[in-house]
Structure 1
Amino acid sequence: MSRPPLTIDPEAFRPDAAPAGTIEVNERLIEAAQKAPNIWSLGPQAVRDLRKQGVTPFVVEPKSQRAETLTIAGPGGPLALRVIAPETPSAVYLHVHSGGWTLGSADQDDPRLERLATECGIACLSVHYRLAPEHPYPAGPDDCEAAALWVAREAAARFGAKTLLIGGESAGAHLAVVTLLRLRDRHGLSPFARANLSAGSYDLGLTPSARRFGTQHLVLNTRDIRMFAAHYLQNGEALDDPDVSPLYADLSGMPPALFTVGTRDALVDDTLFMAARWTAAGGAAELSLWPGSAHVFTSLPEPNAAPAFERIMAFLKG
């Protein structure tokens, strides 16, 4: 059966296509980054602490009062899943947070996961995977693989829902794809019905947009991407290994996916390339492209964020 063609609208890349509010937020973020300490001179743990205190450009949002912690067995010891769930879920969503495999936490996306629980009836489980550089590759993907296997085995009995979903943002989107590939190749499993992939990093050797973005610090720049990858990969891993850079993988048998990205994201090519390869491998791929928006803009107070996330909710709800 033929699938709808994947289309890229060049109009989205025109400088005058971005909403005025998006441009204003971008300018404020760039100005704030210029005044903030250089994160690479502080060290990852110091940056994590400053983020929690709200003294970096990173947007700190309210935490869900309904969240609970579920602990399962993980490859490095007990593995925590942050759970935000309605009483009778229609689906279970395994979420993987962003942060360059180095920063971030499972509670940073609480507002959006709470909306999925409240408005879509989806039980959201966000993985507290181990972070680099303290726990370099393959610790993070090993934890996500363990979490996905648990969801595939236990979600129906625990939550009463058979439909399984997976996704994440930035490094979380990367880890979500790696997890899908591991379940297929290592376990012969394809349990997830849909994949929500926002602003993923799929080629750790850097795609053209990542290489060419330069020094302007709009959430993420070229040096940041290289430094995050250096923290994550510490043992000479090949950058074209599909478990490292899933853009190089055999993508056959992947579930329908929604790829969301802004045109001012340093990783925009990662999404364009991965969506194209996903489609070429026979998978269903939707491209959600937002003019002028920065990296992982759905968490930013800018005009493209609300409609982009509403499209994500509709996709996950199915």
Structure 2
Amino acid sequence: MLDHALFDPATIDPETRRLNEEIRKDQASQPDPWSMPIAEARALRSKGSIAFPRLKRSARAETITVEGPGGPVALRVIRPQGKAAEKPRGAYLHIHGGGWVFGGADQQDPWLERIADTCGFVCLSVEYRLAPEHPYPAALEDCEAAALWLAGPGRASLNVSSLTIGGESVGAHLAVSTLLRLRDHHDQPRAFRGANLNCGFFDLGLTPSVRAWGEERLVNNTRDLETFANGFCAGKVDRRQPEISPLYADLKGLPPALFSVGTADALLDDTLYMSARWAAAGNGGHTAIYPGGCHVFIRYPGPLTERAQELSERFLMALA
């Protein structure tokens, strides 16, 4: 059951209000990303800003390459330190966000270092192919290949048995879609013990909260999300077929999931709808809603982020 007090603006802490205003001002001062070629938009975002800060790359990251239908897929690996380095508690397969258009496997190294050291997990992030150059099913095929390797030879290679999966935004979308492919195409519905799903984009036909958001950018706006969906689909597919929009899939037999989202996120409905269907399918899990949190608010340091990260870590460790 949801606590409706969470939707009261009075419950938003001052730090979150200040951050959201800074993000709005920063994005209002930036050029429209869709007014330039995609390569220029990527280069601009890679420079970093208040809205899209550059996180420090890990000095201890390494790369493992696996084979997928579209060719080699690189996995960025961050291993735990200390005693867990010899016998990790498990592995966490992470899928990055960025609208299927931006980002890469190295954009969240500090988050994965924290999970590695706090939870004792080997963390792997998938360098999947990006749209619009590589539309559906390219990214999903790469994530599927990574998951199959980890659930197969990767267990012995990394000395792990407990596997978890997760991601932010479209990374959460790809994580769910990967679980569905493992269940439906490979008869492995529980290869992963749980899913950590942060502010997922689960309906590419656009939920009411996305449609109603409008033009103001607080990380994303309606046009941005519609443009991301267009790039992923390349205009060739039914937006509400289950493999495109996992909100419409049969979700039975999937592992427990932690759903996290902020109330100041255009994708709020995606999490509310998906978490309800996940629960109705009997999969188990928990839904955490954070007052005033913007899209992927965990990229910004603050009390809201600390609460969300601690909950994610407790969830992952409970599955090991």
TM range (shorter): over 0.9
Q: Using the alignment, how far apart are the partners of 1:234 and 1:73 within structure 2?
A: 25
Matched position secondary structure for 2:227: helix
Query: Is residue 2:304 matched to residue 1:304?
Result: yes
Alignment partner, residue 223 of structure 1: 223
Matched, 1:262 2:262: yes
Q: Is the 8 A contact 2:258 2:312 kept in 1?
A: yes
In structure 1, how many angstroms separate the alpha carbons of the residues matched to 2:155 and 2:301? Answer: 36
Query: How much has 1:201 moved relative to structure 2?
Result: 0.4
AA of the residue aligned to 1:248 = Y
- Which amino acid is the alignment partner of residue 166 of structure 2? G
SS of 1:62 mapped into structure 2: coil
Tell me the TM-score normalized by structure 2: 0.96
Q: How far 1:285 moved relative to its partner?
A: 2.3
1:235 deviates by: 4.2
Of 1, 4, 16, 1:10 maps to: 4
- Flag as ranges the 4+ runs of structure 1 deviating above 3 A: none
Matched residue SS, 1:32: helix
Q: Give the Å deviation of 1:307.
A: 0.8
- Spell out, residue by residue over 1:105-144, the C-alpha distance to the aligned partner (whole angstroms, 9 max, x if none): 1111100100011111000000000000010111000110
Q: Which residue of 2 aligns with 1:58?
A: 52
- The question of 1:34 aligning with 2:28 is answered yes
Note the C-alpha offset of 1:9. 1.1
Is this contact kept in 1: 2:264–2:291, CA < 8 A?
yes
What is the Cα deviation at residue 56 of structure 1? 7.0
| Cα distance between partner residues in 2 of 1:131 and 1:36 | 23
Structure 1: where are the runs of 5+ without partners?
1-6
Q: Bigger shift: 228-237 or 246-255?
A: 228-237
**Is the 1:81–1:127 contact (alpha carbons within 8 Å) kept by the matching residues of 2?**
yes
Distance 1:131 1:170 in 2: 14
What do you get for the CA RMSD once the two structures are aligned? Answer: 1.0
In structure 1, what is the equivalent of residue 197 of structure 2?
Answer: 197
Gaps of 5+ in 2: none
In structure 1, the partner of 2:135 is 136
Q: Deviations over 1:218-250 (max 9, x none)?
A: 001111000001111114200111000000000
Q: Is the 8 A contact 1:199 1:267 kept in 2?
A: yes
Q: Match of 2:158?
A: 159
Q: Which residue of 2 aligns with 1:77?
A: 71
Partner residue in 1 for 2:282: 282
Who is 1:3 aligned against?
none
**1:125 and 1:175 mapped to 2: Cα distance?**
15
**Structure-1-length-normalised TM-score:** 0.96
Letter in 2 for 1:89: P
Other-structure match for 2:186: 187
Distance 2:45 2:310 in 1: 27
Aligned residue number for residue 104 of structure 1: 103
SS in 2 for 1:142: helix
- d(CA) in 2 for partners of 1:84, 1:272: 31
Q: Are 2:22 and 2:50, in contact at CA under 8 Å, matched by a contact in 1?
A: no
Looking at structure 2, the residues matched to 237 and 44 of structure 1 have their Cα atoms a distance apart, in angstroms, of 22
CA contact (8 A) 2:213 2:222 kept: yes
Q: 1:159-183: CA deviations, max 9, x gaps? A: 1110000000000000000000000
2:41 is equivalent to residue 47 of structure 1: yes
What's the CA shift for 1:55? 4.9
Distance in 2 of aligned mates of 1:273 and 1:111 = 30
Structure 2 CA distance for aligned equivalents of residues 213 and 253 of structure 1:
33
Q: Letter of the aligned partner of 2:293 in structure 1?
A: S
Which has the higher mean CA deviation after the structures are superposed, 45-54 or 211-220? 45-54
Q: Distance in 2 between matches of 1:198 and 1:24?
A: 22
Number of aligned positions between the proteins: 312
Check conservation: 1:155, 1:162, Cα contact below 8 A: no
